[in-house]
Structure 1
Amino acid sequence: AHWIRIENGVIAQYTIISPTTWNASPKDDNDQRGPIEQALVGTKVRDPENPFEIVRIVRSFDPCLACAVHMLIGRTGARKRLMVVG
């Protein structure tokens, strides 16, 4: 979404909310997940060392966002950083 305020023929304010802002959002005040989080819940990952399923889902919302994805592994709190190269 884009909002522009023009005063005297000059742009006085320009605001953009990119799809990433909406799609990668955290849970809202009603505890509802953002679209990417909701899409990831329940996803079966065949190889935890190469979880391409996660990257594929994230890229379906934003092709740039999946280039660096961090994930928490189960309830252990272990973290893993995924890098997509190429």
Structure 2
Amino acid sequence: MNEDKYNGWNDDGSFPPIEKCPFCSGSAKLCDNGYERPVIDPDTGAYIDMEISEGDTFWCECESCGATTHGKGSPEAAITEWNHRV
């Protein structure tokens, strides 16, 4: 199981737990469209910085079967949609 199922977004412990996948009972994680990538000096090839982009679209994804929610505007909305069971 992924120990950081919130991918760093639950630093203050305020998010609800992410339920198991409704299709396969696998573990799910919170995902976003943010990224981190190194900035490399083109002349020397040396690492000089890190470019970081905060995500603005969030979804939950099963680590076993790949089931996902639709993209939402907040981590809480993505978790709420994932945890909704009919």
TM bucket by the smaller chain?
Answer: under 0.3
In the superposition, the TM-score normalised over structure 2's length comes to 0.23
In terms of Rg, which structure is larger? 1
In the superposition, the TM-score normalised over structure 1's length comes to 0.23
The structure, 1 or 2, with the larger RCO (C-alpha pairs under 8 Å, 6+ apart) is 2
Bigger helix share: 1
